[in-house]
Amino acid sequence: MDARYLKERAFLIITVALAVIAVFPVFHVLFTILVRGGQTLLKAGPSFLLDVPPPPGKGLGGIAPSLAGTLMLAFYSSIAGIPLSFFAAILAVEFPRSLIAKGVRVLSKALLEIPSVVVGMLVYAIMVVPMGQFSILAGAVALAIMMIPYVTTYVEEALESVPFTYREAGFSVGMLRSQVVFKVVVGIAKRGILTGMLIGIAKVLGETAPLLFTLGRDRYSVPTNVFEYGDSISLLIFDYVQTPYANMHEVAWGAALVLTLMFLALFTLVKRYAGEVRL
């Protein structure tokens, strides 16, 4: 064997080894959640998704209020955050020289660096205190603020990846600028745009810090409107892992598995429906 071949094999072995080391913690976390959370779900059964949490040291109960609160938070924060992010990204890409577009870029990059706990404190000051109570609405606003810079950045990158020749082709056949943007550019960049929206939703599903100051932790009743106290799965996990009660630790593991499955479902849907590009 010559030295060149040995160097090539050594490089391949080192690369594979480092890649395995890099991804091993992720698979270890997923495996642990699957095993520990799966034990809880098998023990509790379907009622885990329908019951309220148990009292300390007695039974497993369920995570129904936290699950409902998480879905409501994701829904309302997406209603506010995704459209704002989408149009902010279009403005920044299609009108890059305008003062507003420059401001949008700077603001979206700045928001990425702001700690989530600061966002929670801000919403607490401007919403919770004037309203006189915690609420799902305040939590959704905090999560929407967290979502906006992530979705905006990914949508910008997706729109910028579309070659300018496609825009020129649209203009050449008499299409208006709005038609070029929404029918041509957005159509081509659809996969990247949906991926960015998914990442934004996943980001808020797993957030905890902003909810500490906005949500209120009502774990024993399913919320029915946005002005009520609420709870989230991530907040429940945060609280229960710090208790000395074994049954609450089991509930936290089961909740972690449910939250992980929600993430995987979102990624699977986008992989399935965003795979084709249609103009």
Cβ proximity of 151 and 86 under 8 Å: yes
The SS3 assignment for 128 reads helix
Q: Which amino acid is at 125?
A: A
Q: What pLDDT was estimated at residue 194?
A: 87
pTM for the structure as a whole: 0.86
Q: What pLDDT was estimated at residue 277?
A: 47
Token code pair at residue 6? 């040995």
Q: What pLDDT was estimated at residue 57?
A: 82
Q: What is d(CA 86, CA 218) in angstroms, rounded to the nearest whole number?
A: 33
Tens-digit pLDDT profile for residues 234-251: 999 999 999 999 999 999
Tens-digit pLDDT profile for residues 18-41: 999 988 988 898 899 999 999 999
Handedness of CA 157, 113, 265, 223 (dihedral sign): negative
pLDDT at 177 over 80: yes
Region 98-103: mean pLDDT is 82
Region 133-158: mean pLDDT is 92
Domain ranges of the chain: 64-273
Tens-digit pLDDT profile for residues 66-99: 999 999 999 999 999 999 999 999 988 888 888 8
By CB neighbour count within 10 A (0-12 exposed, 13-18 middle, 19+ buried), where does 23 fall?
exposed
pLDDT at 2 over 80: no
pLDDT class of 274 with cuts at 50, 70, 90: low
% of the chain residues with pLDDT over 90 = 43
Token code pair at residue 196? 């960015």
CATH topology of domain 64-273: MetI-like fold (1.10.3720)
pLDDT class of 233 with cuts at 50, 70, 90: very high
pLDDT class of 3 with cuts at 50, 70, 90: confident
By CB neighbour count within 10 A (0-12 exposed, 13-18 middle, 19+ buried), where does 260 fall?
middle
pLDDT class of 1 with cuts at 50, 70, 90: low
Region 219-226: mean pLDDT is 87
Tens-digit pLDDT profile for residues 252-268: 999 999 999 998 888 78
Backbone φ and ψ of 172, nearest 5°: -70, -25
Q: What pLDDT was estimated at residue 33?
A: 93
More confident residue, 270 or 111: 111
